[in-house]
């Protein structure tokens, strides 16, 4: 299994339009603080799965050299996690898409012109794409009433992507998330900031420790962190196009 963080930014990305904070300046100068919006590519020997379709998807596909994916999984119906799907237009037709029913209903209304191949999945029920066993689990991302994290298994390797969530995750989901080889965790802000719908970096790291993840990398990162090369001394921040291979 190979995991590529195609985009590690929050909904507005970094640099934020009009901002001249040290992190946004570092991003403007080409540093690792530059963050496209969230997408993750997971590759097996049999194919590729894309978790969420960032508004920056076109550049992510070009930079990574992706010509075809075997499936797209949408974790929830927020703009920064699905709006880039239109970049498959005239590139790959009838892309198989997977998600919870209401999530798919909402997104497909927006993307009706592309006619992707719709696959409704259930919380806690495994399905397969490209030889990988995939399970969606419930997370808590208010005000949405439906949001999912993603568990992916290939052989003995276990990957957990929390999706956008606060720390109030149902116990059934926590049980599924235990003992991951890698947890890709929502950690939008440094400690001291608290949002109802996201974890901060301390909460995300604490969750990974509680669930005995062998490794953790934070994503969905805002410009409120210090510049990447400074922040990474304290927090396991991911960066765009970071690759982890098992």
> For the segment 187-244, what is each residue's pLDDT rounded down to a tens digit?
999 998 888 999 999 999 999 999 999 999 999 999 999 999 999 999 999 999 999 9
> For the segment 2-50, what is each residue's pLDDT rounded down to a tens digit?
999 999 999 999 999 999 999 999 999 999 999 999 999 999 999 999 9
pTM: 0.96
Lowest mean pLDDT of 58-62, 110-114, 185-189, name the range: 110-114
Whole-number percent of the chain with pLDDT over 70: 100
User: Is residue 112's pLDDT more than 90?
Assistant: no
Whole-number percent of the chain with pLDDT over 90: 94
Tell me what pLDDT residue 115 has.
Answer: 86
User: Is residue 128's pLDDT more than 90?
Assistant: yes
Task: Quote the number of domains for the chain.
Answer: 1
Question: What range defines the domain where residue 142 resides?
Answer: 2-245
One-character DSSP codes across the chain: -EEEEEE-B-TT-BSPTT--SHHHHHHHTT-TT-BPBPEEEEEETTEEEEE---TTHHHHHHHHT----SEEE-----HHHHGGGGGGTTTSSS-EEEE-HHHHHHHHHHTGGG--EEEE--TT--EEETTEEEEEEE---TT-S--EEEEEEETTEEEEE--S--S---HHHHHHHTT-SEEEEE--B-TT---SSS-BHHHHHHHHHHTT-S-EEEESB-TTSPPHHHHTTTS-B--TTEEEE-
- When pLDDT is averaged across residues 163-189 and rounded to a whole number, the result is 97
What CATH number is associated with residue 89? 3.60.15.10
User: Is residue 114's pLDDT more than 90?
Assistant: no
Q: What is the mean pLDDT of the chain?
A: 96
């Amino acid at each position: 299994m190979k995991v590529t963080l195609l985009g590690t930014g929050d909904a507005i990305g970094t640099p934020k339009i009009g901002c001249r904070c040290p992190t946004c300046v570092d991003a403007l100068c080409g540093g690792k603080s530059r963050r496209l919006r969230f997408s993750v590519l997971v590759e097996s020997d049999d194919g590729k799965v894309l978790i969420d379709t960032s508004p920056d998807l076109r550049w992510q596909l070009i930079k990574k050299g992706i010509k075809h994916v075997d499936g797209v999984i949408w974790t929830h119906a927020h703009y920064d996690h699905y709006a880039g799907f239109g970049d498959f237009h005239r590139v790959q037709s009838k892309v198989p898409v997977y998600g919870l029913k209401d999530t798919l209903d909402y997104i497909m209304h927006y993307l009706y012109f592309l006619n992707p191949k719709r696959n409704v999945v259930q919380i806690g029920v495994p399905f397969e794409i490209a030889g990988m066993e995939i399970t969606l689990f419930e997370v808590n991302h208010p005000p949405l009433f439906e949001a999912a994290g993603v568990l992916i298994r290939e052989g003995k390797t276990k990957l957990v992507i929390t999706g956008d969530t606060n720390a109030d995750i149902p116990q059934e989901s926590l049980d599924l998330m235990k003992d991951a080889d890698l947890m890709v965790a929502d950690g939008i802000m440094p400690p001291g900031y608290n949002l109802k719908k996201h974890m901060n970096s301390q909460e995300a790291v604490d969750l990974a420790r509680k669930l005995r993840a062998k490794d953790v990398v934070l994503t969905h990162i805002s410009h409120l962190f210090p510049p990447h090369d400074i922040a990474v001394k304290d927090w396991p921040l991911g960066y765009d196009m970071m690759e982890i291979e098992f």
